[in-house]
Structure 1
């Protein structure tokens, strides 16, 4: 499976001159826990909600300080056409939980540890289906229809 199949799009970005306050507002607006800091369309850093709280406000920075004061750099990325396993390896090697995904030089999305956990759950489910057939002794039959649902649909 390719990273593009599990990544989230669009990725939320802020420019290098964006303030901590504006960055936090943008995260809240998009309900995300991280943003990619860009300059000229190129990823320059990553900022998480934790970075804002601990390295920003918690460290005494003013809310009008530039986001570059708290961003993590260099940016660790993966490519959209990489296999998902590359995201696992990259996270393990780098110790990060969020990776911007590049399609050429363009930021195409982001893949998070949560996205990979969902992928693991899906893969595990696919492995368990044939195993359950072995335990049950046969393959499952057609889906059972609920009489309540049929009545509610007017059937």
Structure 2
């Protein structure tokens, strides 16, 4: 089974100018541990609850600060046509909770999360499309 076979559509990526408050709300609503961040149609990073709490609070940023100030600029990713079993193993080996999913044209396709509850019969992975 491919990563793309498990995707469920959700919202667009966050803008680099999204506030920390808006990012926290989007993360809570998505039930993902990270969301991609884009600027002018290009994927530039990802933001997690960890980024918001550990970096936002530690730096004394307020809730109206831009997500760009705390997001991770390094993006760990996979392709949508990769085998889901391989990706779950890769997540486990790297002790990661999720990966950003890209098309072969390097367009944002979604997020694959190894520890999310299954919705489609897969026991260890849940894939959420973050439509580009």
User: What are the residue-to-residue correspondences of 1:14-53 with 2, within 5 Å?
Assistant: 14-53=14-53
Which of 122, 127, 132 aligns to 1:119? It is 122
Post-superposition offset of 1:22: 1.8
Task: Decide whether the 8 Å contact of 2:47 with 2:71 is kept in 1.
Answer: yes
Does 1:110 find its partner at 2:111?
A: yes
Could you say if the C-alpha distance between residues 26 and 88 of structure 1 is closer, same or farther in structure 2, counting changes exceeding 3 Å? Answer: closer
Looking at structure 1, the residues matched to 20 and 2 of structure 2 have their Cα atoms a distance apart, in angstroms, of 34
Q: Residue 130 of structure 2 corresponds to which residue in structure 1?
A: none
TM score, norm. by length of structure 2 = 0.73
Post-superposition offset of 1:115: 5.0
When Rg is computed on C-alpha atoms for both structures, the one with the higher figure is 1
- Number of paired residues? 122
TM score, norm. by length of structure 1 = 0.64
- Give the number of the structure whose residues are more often strand, by fraction: 2
Looking at structure 1, the residues matched to 79 and 91 of structure 2 have their Cα atoms a distance apart, in angstroms, of 13
User: What are the residue-to-residue correspondences of 1:127-142 with 2, within 5 Å?
Assistant: none
Q: How big is the alpha-carbon RMSD for the aligned residues of Structure 1 and Structure 2? A: 2.7
Which is bigger in relative contact order (C-alpha 8 A, separation at least 6)? 2
Unpaired segments ≥5 residues, structure 1: 123-155
